[in-house]
Structure 1
């Protein structure tokens, strides 16, 4: 699988692996950074396990994990990935995204999501990109909706969280035929 090169003047997304993940160690320690995730990234042993899992999925061609570098702040900001890649049906998920608090609200997330959506639709020529968000995570839900993704349904009590809570997951999607309009109206304004 080719390693995508995703970069613009704001952000650079490089393959996350065991050679670079320690750049994220300090950010991963931020309290409640992944509160709505079923995966732990803290303490350092959990971050390493998280990355090892992502790398294994990369080698199985079902994920492409990225380390996020904020070019304006000249600092590593977090992680995101393509996952649950279904090559036959041309559908993938964008998710597993977490960025440090100092980068939130800066427009970084919008820039990296643009690069990822552009790559998924224009390079990979996939038919659909999906996002899965904890029903309680209003901030992330609004961010995905702001990108132009449509709520397709809610999977009720489908994911066991670290604290034992069984969350419901909101499923959002963008179709290939929606991408040109979204690209023009959501990202070029």
Structure 2
């Protein structure tokens, strides 16, 4: 099953479908992020970035993900990548993650706007029942960002993923349910709706 060609945008954020040629525009950003520190993904070389994109596009063709490049319309620059993943159309659940953005974009509210576009699409267009986030227990910044979205910590998977240097991380599992979305949208994203 191939998922639809999706473009999400507002006045600041443009999420465009990831393409194999995007390795060139994403490489300068990939050099600035330590994605492998908390996750199992490594984009620390051009070859590893190409493999990352290739895997994301394979998952997309298998109907398991919708990967994006992230473009900042205010600065007219590409600033990273994100995706819907682990898409389960039968149970109507998916994950939002694999997000990496340039250091200068962090802490500006850009990620909050981007996640709003993604959550709105998952709940209102795809009509999914649940959106999940899995974050390294040690990644306090990302955990706080997801909590700011209104996601609930549902539990911790202990030592479930191998990351840099063979370290086994524990993953915090956060979720938002469809029936929670209306209130979360009003309380957390009212200025964006």
Q: Which residue is equivalent to 2:175? A: 173
Q: Which residue is equivalent to 1:12? A: 14
Gap runs ≥5 in structure 2: none
Contact between 2:37 and 2:163, CA under 8 Å: does it hold in 1? no
TM score, norm. by length of structure 2: 0.96
- Give me the whole-angstrom Cα distance separating, in 2, the residues matched to 1:164 and 1:5: 36
What's the offset of the Cα at 1:31? Answer: 5.0
**2:68 counterpart (63, 66, 69):** 66
- Give me the whole-angstrom Cα distance separating, in 2, the residues matched to 1:114 and 1:64: 16
What's the offset of the Cα at 1:149? Answer: 0.1
Q: Which residue is equivalent to 2:91? A: 89
Consecutive aligned runs of 4 or more in structure 1 exceeding 4 Å deviation: none
Stretch deviating more after TM superposition (23-32 or 72-81): 23-32
Gap runs ≥5 in structure 1: none
**1:28 counterpart (14, 30, 55):** 30
CA-atom RMSD in angstroms: 0.9
What's the offset of the Cα at 1:13? Answer: 0.1
Contact between 1:34 and 1:98, CA under 8 Å: does it hold in 2? no
Q: Which residue is equivalent to 2:59? A: 57
- Give me the whole-angstrom Cα distance separating, in 1, the residues matched to 2:163 and 2:37: 9
- Give me the whole-angstrom Cα distance separating, in 1, the residues matched to 2:108 and 2:79: 11
- Give me the whole-angstrom Cα distance separating, in 2, the residues matched to 1:20 and 1:40: 16
**2:77 counterpart (75, 78, 93):** 75
SS in 2 for 1:170: strand
- Give me the whole-angstrom Cα distance separating, in 2, the residues matched to 1:106 and 1:75: 15
